[in-house]
Amino acid sequence: MLLLPDAPFEFDWLYFIGTVSFTITGYLIGAKKRFDLLGVCILALLTAIGGGMIRDVLVNSLPRIFLDSSPLYTIFATLALAWLMKLERMDSRMLQRVFIVADSIGLVAFSIAGAQLGLALGLNAFAVAFLGFVTAVGGGLVRDMLCNDVPFILHEDFYGTVAILVALVLYGLFQVGWAGDGVNWLLFAGGLALRLVAHKSELRLPKKT
């Protein structure tokens, strides 16, 4: 079993932000589908950790969630807060906005986090982009399949594309010596802005006709 090297730069806030955001999306979908308490917890949990587990299996590593319990604390604390705030009772338009923003934040945060692992392992651009993509969309893919919905990456506006672009930009910046928390925050902000603008403007890749 592979022991993962230290990341080229520390940015555990990525995991925290992504975990909170995807937990919220799982909670909202579970509440919308009228799942029971256990069903909502399972959906939120798999949404938050699914992409990371798939990523770790791909690089022959024990999933991080089995070694570090902090994501679990984050997930259940987020679930408790969402339940206390009764997020699912918001106005439908506001609820949709919260879902899109939370899902977009999780997408970009986990894309960078996945790409960081590829950089730490010294992988090429394709592998870095692939790990970023899998980490970003894996949880949402599991969520949508469990709910019998068409996964976002198959139809949603510029969804998976944003994850790939963010990972590739991070790879390029790292190759020219631009690395660190400041660079990551800027890339996170830029990736999030791209995803939200793409959603608002309904920017899409060409479809098969």
Cα-only R_g, the chain: 16
- pTM to 2 decimal places: 0.88
Task: Confirm whether 209 is domain-assigned.
Answer: no
Contact 64, 34 (CB under 8 A): no
Helix H or strand E segment including 106: helix 92-120
Domain assignment of residue 163, yes or no: yes
Q: Is the pLDDT of residue 203 over 70?
A: no
Give the tens place of pLDDT for each residue, 55-105: 999 999 888 888 888 889 999 999 999 999 988 888 888 888 999 999 999
107-126: pLDDT as tens digits: 999 999 999 999 999 999 99
Cβ atoms within 10 Å, residue 206: 5
Number of folded domains in the chain? 1
Residue 4 domain flag: no
Query: Which residues are CB-contacts of 23 (< 8 A; sequence separation ≥ 6)?
Result: 44, 45, 47, 48, 74, 75, 78, 79, 82
Residue 6 lies in a domain: no
Range of the domain at 147: 13-200
